[in-house]
Amino acid sequence: MIQMEKVSKWYGMFQVLKDVDLNVARGEKVVVCGPSGSGKSTLIRLVNRLEVHQSGRVIVDGIELDDDTKKIDTVRREVGMVFQSFNLFPHLTVLQNLTLAPVWVKRVPRKEAEETAMHFLGRVRIPEQAAKYPSQLSGGQQQRVAIARALCMKPKLMLFDEPTSALDPEMIKEVLDVMVELAREGMTMMVVTHEMGFAKTVADRVVFMDGGRIVEAAPPAEFFGAPKTDRAKLFLSQVLGH
């Protein structure tokens, strides 16, 4: 589903990604973790080209990403994304947030798009909020709307960029529950998160990044049970310690 080969990226003089190789198979769930500044957010944002890599190759669903906007749009239609700060459209109602892209990008008839939207709002367990504006919802509810919005495009792959980092502790579970359910249904997922519990439950593979490189990549049992590198051990002691 995703193939990255020797991907590098610089911000000015600073190299955020150094020859990263990563493959994500169809149906696989990959959790990316690592200390802040390790390049994990940049990595996930390369997949739908919110960030541009300077060398190496990024191939998503068989399409190699370059400056061709047609290819970029094709990939973006197939790839849903959920952000740390929700990024719902504040001037639109929940329902309008969910139908916007299906109607204007995929040309789905409005009525059908609304039915799909209500279906996914039910799946994230807030169908009664359809007519409200995002600012009227709690953080957890907003993030679940954001997940539903991405799902309304019927994506083949879902990207989650620290989806629970901006949430109050009591709301984290309601979002993770939705994500676990999505994983059980077989969605291909790439998740940047510090929620190690989530990683243990659903991940097929945990990718640990530090300093712009993938330091370790292993199934969760192996990664949590017997981390190979000192950096991973240190990180785990910090994340799991508190």
Q: Which residues of the chain form contacts with another protein (CB under 8 A)?
A: 48-50, 73, 76-77, 79-81, 83, 85-91, 100-101, 104-105, 133, 135, 149-150, 153
CB 153 within 8 A of CB 184: no
- Using the minimum distance from each CB to another protein, give the nearer residue, 11 or 104: 104
Cα 118 to Cα 70: distance, rounded to the nearest angstrom: 30
Backbone angles phi, psi at 216, to 5 degrees: -145, 145
- Using the minimum distance from each CB to another protein, give the nearer residue, 105 or 226: 105
∠ CA 107-108-112 to the nearest 5 degrees? 160
Smallest distance, Å, CB 216 to another protein? Answer: 28
Partners of 14 in beta bridges: 11
Smallest distance, Å, CB 97 to another protein? Answer: 9
Judged by DSSP in three states, 14 sits in strand
Smallest distance, Å, CB 113 to another protein? Answer: 13
Here the tokens at position 120 are 């996914």
Would you give the DSSP letter of residue 105? T
Smallest distance, Å, CB 187 to another protein? Answer: 16
- Using the minimum distance from each CB to another protein, give the nearer residue, 1 or 79: 79
Judged by DSSP in three states, 152 sits in coil
Say what angle helices 94-104 and 110-123 make with each other, to 10 degrees: 130
Smallest distance, Å, CB 102 to another protein? Answer: 9
Smallest distance, Å, CB 182 to another protein? Answer: 17
For the chain, how big is the Rg over CA atoms in Å? 18
Smallest distance, Å, CB 98 to another protein? Answer: 10
- Using the minimum distance from each CB to another protein, give the nearer residue, 33 or 88: 88
- Using the minimum distance from each CB to another protein, give the nearer residue, 9 or 231: 9
Q: Position 178: which residue type?
A: V
- Using the minimum distance from each CB to another protein, give the nearer residue, 50 or 118: 50
Which residues, at least 6 apart from 92, have a Cβ–Cβ distance to it below 8 Å?
100, 133
Cα 142 to Cα 240: distance, rounded to the nearest angstrom: 27
- Using the minimum distance from each CB to another protein, give the nearer residue, 88 or 232: 88
Q: Work out whether strand 55-60 and strand 213-218 pair parallel, antiparallel, or are unpaired.
A: unpaired
Question: Which residue carries 């919005």 as its tokens?
Answer: 149
